[in-house]
Structures are given as C-alpha cells and as structure tokens.
Amino acid sequence: MYSVVSFSHKNTSIELRELLSMDEDEQSLLLNRLYNIEGIKEVVVLSTCNRLEVYICADTEGSVLCDEILLEIANIKHLDINMLKSIVNLFTRLDAVHHAFCVASSLDSLVLGETQISGQLKSAYKLAYDRGFCAKEITRLMHFAFRCAANVRNSTQISKNPVSIASIAVSSALDSLKDGSLGGSKVLVLGIGEMGTLSIKHLSRHNFDITLTNRTKSKALDFIANFNRNIKFVDFEDALKNVNDYDVIFSAMAGGQFINASKVVKKDSKRIWYDLSLPRNIEECDVDPNLEIVSIDDLSQKAKDHILGRQNNARAGMAIVGQSVLEFSQWVERLDIEPLIKVMREKAKASINNKLSKAVKKGYIPSELTPNVEKLLVSVMNEFLHMPTIRLKQLANSEQADSILESIGNIFANSDSFMLNRYKCEYDTTEAKG
C-alpha cells in the first residue's frame, strides 16, 4: 500500500518549511530510520523549498504508520511532534498515487507548470534507489508518475514558456525597474545551483548589470565562461561585505542565513533582495524602509495570478492524472502473480474441457471414461505447469518482474492490455546497481 506524508506550501508556513528542510545527509538518515520501521517496505524522501514529503510502500495502512514517521522527522529536526501532527497532510492508497502524479506533473506546485519539481523528485527517487531504500513497488509508482508528467506536459500548454519562482522574481524586479521605483539595475546573484542558474538565465534577457558570487570560485568562473554573457564575478566574502552596493539581490544558496540585519546600511534609493532559498539566507529586518526583502512565499500572489491564467490547462492536466491513476491501478493488478497463474491454469483447464467434449462427441472416447480421462489430462497439466509456476513466483520479486509478468499476461489475456514502456528515468538502473 502506498502512502504519502506531506508538508508543503499548501499546509505549512515558510518558517516551518525552513525548519523541516533537509540536506542530503539528513534525508539519508531519515530514509534509514523509516526503512527500519516495521511494516515499511520501501521509502523515498523529497525535500525542496516548497515541500518535505515521505513516500512509502508498506504492509500497514499509512494512518497507522504516520505517527512513527512524524516522530522520526521531529527527532531529526528537533521539532514538536504534536505541532507536526496538527498540520500534516496524509494521502493513502489511490489518493497517494494521485498526489504523487500531481507533484511530478507540477500540478501541486506553488508555480503551476514549473519544471523543477520533476527533476527534484527524480533526484529524491535516485537517492533512495541507489542506497537500497526503494525497489520494485516505488519504482513502479515513480516511473508511472514521470510518464504521467510527460503526458501532461505534451498534451497541455501548462509548461509552455516555463515559469518558475526565479522567473517570477525576475519579472517582479523588472516591473520595479521599469516603473522607476528601483534605485538602479545592479544585481548580485548568490549561488549557481538550480535556482541561481535560472535567475541568471532570466536576468540576462534584460538590461541588468549582473554580478555572480559563489562559495566555490572555480565553479562560478566555469559557469560564466560557458554562459557566454557579460557577467562579472566577485569573491564570496567580498560580496557579503558589499551587499549594500547592489540594488537587487537574488540569493539562492544552501547553508542557511549569512546576510543579517547588521550588514544592512540605510540608503535613500529603493532596493529589493529576493531570498529564494530554504532555509532562508537573508534575515528579516527593518533597518532600512527602502529595502524590501522578498521570500518565496511573498511571491505567491504573483504565482496565483499566473495560476489563474493556466486554469484550463490545469483542469486538462488533472483529467490526465485521473486517467493515469486508473491505468496504474489496473496495470498493477495485472502484474500480480497469483491472478496470472490462475489465468494460465484456467486457460489450460478450458482447453482440456473443450477438447475432451469434442472427443466424446466424435466418439473417440466413450462418455463413461470422461471423468478418468479428465483426471489424467488435469494431472498432465499440473505436471507441465508445476515448474513454470514455481519459476514465476521466484521471478515475482526480481527487477525484471514487471516486464516478464506483463509479457506473459499479454500472451494469456483475452483482451488487449496496454504496454508500459521503459520510459526514461534519467539514470541508468544497471549503473545504479553496479
């Protein structure tokens, strides 16, 4: 049974999301602790600026396991479990599948249609897979989620002219520059992770004077050389000393807060500093009334305006998700080994009855011998299917199980069944295992 424990922008404040944010080491620790909870078979942990979510496959209902999962999160992040219980969203069974598909398709994102989340979910899945915390069951869920996301992108306009938190922030800065309220166009970008890179990409399309800083100088210089735009570089420590020289800052670095109120100097001109990190990099302060510090959640209204413009695409995307959930449920049922073995035996038994009936009708076998002949043929059938049945049960837990069982199911099935392609998951499973 699938379940998802969710803290996202929908039910969790930015302050709490900041406290819940986990780096890779903390994610690995949580994966290990959750994997050892009785009843949990597989687990994936997703941590982004807008959500912390735990995806599990378990022998036990998610409602029973939820408190144990929250306890481990609370212990790792030193939070009150009762507070977590009061706001957590729990999705179970097909609701969990539906939620996973919505997340992968960016239909649950703060910025509808943004393309970052699919890659972030793939990275979370890869981390868990490479370290042995998930296998066949969650692999099925994730692969189908990525397939659903691709279908949503290709069948709707939801990701046309992709929008992200970074692009919305740049758009906001551009509006301030155009209306003359901004003091100037000097921009400092801190960090060249995904958010920082996106910020520079969008800033470079407009008339901004861009300076980049990063803790690792060589990475920043390589980025500038490859980006082929007029971007300056400043050492990280020098950038922090001179933050007041910039009209606009886009901060998107790991490591928590490093721009605090003591670094702010009052100026006559307006400045806007965008804090696109979680945990946040910039401390809220009221030292300068002309300085506006904008967090991810502060951009939510612009995101909502953007969502309104994509509602039709969202509805179409949700219809695709609903159909994908149904297909996934049906597909998983067809992959179950016991129904497949039953179908094989029923096919064989039907052939015995059909041929025996014809043989009696044509006089090849006396009717009074029918029961004995039937017993003999069933005995032959059982002997013939004995080893294949054992082998199928052995294969049921292998990595190749899905492909093998689906192929055999298609051979024996009366009705057409769709084939699940080995769709791209952006990493090589043989390499992951090697």
**Phi-psi label, residue 239: left if phi above 0, alpha if psi -120 to 50, beta otherwise:** alpha
Angstrom distances, CA of residue 53 to CA of 219, 367, 404: 30, 66, 32
Tokens of 320: 């695709």
Going by pLDDT thresholds of 50, 70 and 90, the confidence category of residue 168 is confident
Give 187's strand partners.
Answer: 210, 248
Give 273's strand partners.
Answer: 249, 293
385-388 long-range Cβ contacts below 8 angstroms, 24+ apart: 385/344, 385/345, 385/348, 388/344
Q: For 64-116, what is each residue's pLDDT tens digit?
A: 999 999 999 999 999 999 999 999 999 999 999 999 999 999 898 877 777 78
Distance from C-alpha of 306 to C-alpha of 303, rounded to nearest angstrom? 5
| Residues annotated as catalytic (active site), given as ranges | 49
Distance from C-alpha of 17 to C-alpha of 51, rounded to nearest angstrom? 7
Cα end-to-end span (Å), the chain: 29
Q: Residues of the chain with pLDDT > 70: what percent?
A: 87
Instruction: Tell me how crowded residue 227 is: count the other CB atoms within 10 A of its CB.
Output: 16
Instruction: Identify the pLDDT of residue 352.
Output: 92
Instruction: Tell me how crowded residue 155 is: count the other CB atoms within 10 A of its CB.
Output: 13
Tokens of 2: 């699938």
Q: For 304-356, what is each residue's pLDDT tens digit?
A: 666 666 677 788 889 999 999 999 988 787 666 777 788 888 888 999 999 99
DSSP state of 105: T
Instruction: Identify the pLDDT of residue 425.
Output: 38
Tokens of 65: 């396991």
Q: Rg for the chain (alpha carbons), in Å? A: 28
Going by pLDDT thresholds of 50, 70 and 90, the confidence category of residue 413 is low
Instruction: Identify the pLDDT of residue 301.
Output: 67
Question: How far, rounded to the nearest angstrom, does the alpha carbon of residue 379 sit from its chain's CA centroid?
Answer: 50
8 A C-beta contact, residue 19 and residue 77: yes
Task: Report strand pairing: 40-47 vs 51-58.
Answer: antiparallel
Asked if the model's pLDDT at residue 9 lies above 70, the reply is yes
Q: For 23-37, what is each residue's pLDDT tens digit?
A: 999 999 999 999 999
Q: Which domains does the chain have, with CATH numbers?
A: 2-158+310-332 (3.30.460.30), 165-307 (3.40.50.720), 338-391 (no CATH)
Which uninterrupted H or E stretch holds 250? strand 248-251
* Average pLDDT over the chain, rounded to an integer: 84
Question: How far, rounded to the nearest angstrom, does the alpha carbon of residue 394 sit from its chain's CA centroid?
Answer: 31
Instruction: Tell me how crowded residue 158 is: count the other CB atoms within 10 A of its CB.
Output: 22
Task: Report strand pairing: 89-92 vs 2-8.
Answer: antiparallel
8 A C-beta contact, residue 158 and residue 115: no
Distance from C-alpha of 232 to C-alpha of 317, rounded to nearest angstrom? 41
Residue of 299 and 89 predicted with greater confidence: 89
Lowest mean pLDDT among 34-38, 69-73, 372-376, 411-415: 411-415
- For range 177-205, the mean pLDDT: 82
Instruction: Identify the pLDDT of residue 19.
Output: 92
Which uninterrupted H or E stretch holds 92? strand 89-92
List of residues 6+ apart from 95 with CB closer than 8 A: none
Instruction: Tell me how crowded residue 217 is: count the other CB atoms within 10 A of its CB.
Output: 13
SS3 186: strand
Question: How far, rounded to the nearest angstrom, does the alpha carbon of residue 154 sit from its chain's CA centroid?
Answer: 18
Asked if the model's pLDDT at residue 150 lies above 50, the reply is yes
Q: For 218-240, what is each residue's pLDDT tens digit?
A: 898 888 888 877 889 999 889 88
Instruction: Identify the pLDDT of residue 88.
Output: 96
Asked if the model's pLDDT at residue 125 lies above 60, the reply is yes
Sheet containing strand 232-233, edge to edge, reads: 232-233, 209-213, 186-190, 248-251, 271-275, 291-295
SS3 253: coil
**C-alpha triplet 134, 3, 146: angle, nearest 5°:** 60
- For range 125-143, the mean pLDDT: 92
